[in-house]
Amino acid sequence: MLLVENLSVGYGKMEVVHGVSFSLSRGRVLAIVGPNGSGKSTLLKGIFGTASVLGGRVLYDGVDVTKAPPHIKVSLGMAYLPQVKGVFEELTVRENLELALMSLPKDEGWERVEEVLELFPELKGLEDRRARTLSGGERQMLAIAMSMVKRPKLLMLDEPTAALAPKVASALTKKILELRGSYNLAVILVEQNARLALKISDEALLMVSGEVKYLGSSEELLSNSNLAKVYLGLSRVG
């Protein structure tokens, strides 16, 4: 479904990601892990079209979308939740969801909002609350719900558990897996919490200094004590 070939990404002429290649099928979760500053977020931005692609290409369902602008990629079924705040704090939960599907007919839009609220029972009863009054976990749930209203096939998440308490982060990743199962989603998860990301993903891409150091099974990376300790700070498996 998603094929990334020899992709180099940067800002202006400064190259940050160097020749990354991988593929991802529907129903699979890919964790992108690595030290700070290794280019993980920049890679996602390059795939989605918010950073400059300096080489290589991105194919989505067999179509070359390398140079396609983000709104076209969204219309094709790609969703991207950046690391920065993904909600409008002065709007209510329902208004945030409605804003996320402005391009749809009103009747269909209301139907999608109700559908997403069924998927996120954590938000039920909070529809009239302003986003700024929500907890950190509830805000992230809302941000992901906003990404889901257009029924994407590929969901890309940049550090969704950042600054969340461990129990909240665990609940959020469980929700991501539920969505993967319900929608047969392909999910790309960029995470600093490498242990958590590797435990819930099928495949892993370890980036170091903008390059791929490992690509393969998440379980195998987690059990590779040398790579896990040197690059991820994981001193033991489990």
Please choose, from the candidates 21, 45, 5, the residue with its C-alpha nearest in 3D space to the C-alpha of residue 211.
Answer: 21
- How deeply is 93 buried, as exposed, middle or buried, from its count of CB atoms within 10 A (0-12, 13-18, 19+)? buried
Q: What is the pLDDT of residue 86?
A: 80
Structural tokens at position 43: 């890679």
Strand ranges inside the chain, DSSP E: 2-11, 14-24, 29-33, 52-60, 63-64, 78-81, 154-158, 186-190, 203-208, 211-217
Q: Which residues contact 78 (CB under 8 A, 6 or more apart)?
A: 48, 60, 65, 152, 153, 154, 156
Strands 63-64 and 52-60 turn out to be antiparallel
What CA–CA distance (Å, rounded) separates 87 from 171?
A: 19
Residues 185-237 have pLDDT tens digits of: 999 999 988 999 999 999 999 999 999 999 999 999 988 878 888 878 765 44
Q: What is the pLDDT of residue 238?
A: 45
Q: What is the pLDDT of residue 103?
A: 64
Triad 119, 2, 153: Cα angle to 5° = 20
What CA–CA distance (Å, rounded) separates 187 from 208?
A: 21
- How deeply is 44 buried, as exposed, middle or buried, from its count of CB atoms within 10 A (0-12, 13-18, 19+)? buried
| 238 residues of the chain, pLDDT tens digit each | 999 999 999 999 899 999 999 999 999 999 999 999 999 999 999 999 999 999 999 999 999 999 999 999 999 999 999 987 789 999 999 999 988 887 666 666 678 888 899 989 999 999 999 999 999 999 999 999 999 988 999 999 999 998 889 999 999 999 999 999 989 999 999 998 899 999 999 999 999 999 999 999 999 998 887 888 887 876 544 4
Q: How far is CA 16 from the centre of its chain?
A: 19
What CA–CA distance (Å, rounded) separates 134 from 75?
A: 29
Show the domains of the chain with their CATH numbers. Answer: 1-77+155-238 (3.40.50.300), 87-151 (no CATH)
